[in-house]
Amino acid sequence: MNVEEVPTASVSDLPADGVSLLDVREHDEWTAGHAPDAVHIPLGELPARVGELADLPDDKPVYVVCRTGGRSARATAWLNASGWDAVNVAGGMKSWHTEGRPVVGDRDGVPPVIL
């Protein structure tokens, strides 16, 4: 499966609650701002850490997000080729934030931002 063929959904198509979200951005991007209940595994670490997704519900797809959708499309293609049910989030965390979805950061006293 190539990147052009990955299943993709817009943020507005995602359920409001109970979304299994995998954030594949780098650590500094995650720290600056991320979805509250997302699992964080940077794209480069995904093959070695994919087992961490085993705790996610297996009856729902894993929605994969990055900053704007490029890295998450590659991660989605890899996950689907590896037997997962994964969907790329079009527009990434930029769209997540624009759509008014919650964002939290890990920097004390600094409002979350999407890098």
- pLDDT 10s digits, 4-31: 589 999 999 998 888 999 999 999 999 9
- Domain containing residue 57: 3-98
What's the confidence (pLDDT) of residue 2?
Answer: 52
The whole model's pTM is what?
A: 0.93
Catalytic option among 64, 66, 86, 89:
66
Answer yes or no: 44 catalytic: no
**Average pLDDT of the chain to the nearest whole number:** 93
The average pLDDT across 39-67 equals 95
Question: How many domains does the chain fold into?
Answer: 1
With beta carbons less than 8 A apart as the criterion, state whether 65 and 72 touch: yes
- Residue 41 burial (CB < 10 Å; 0-12/13-18/19+)? buried
CATH number at residue 30: 3.40.250.10
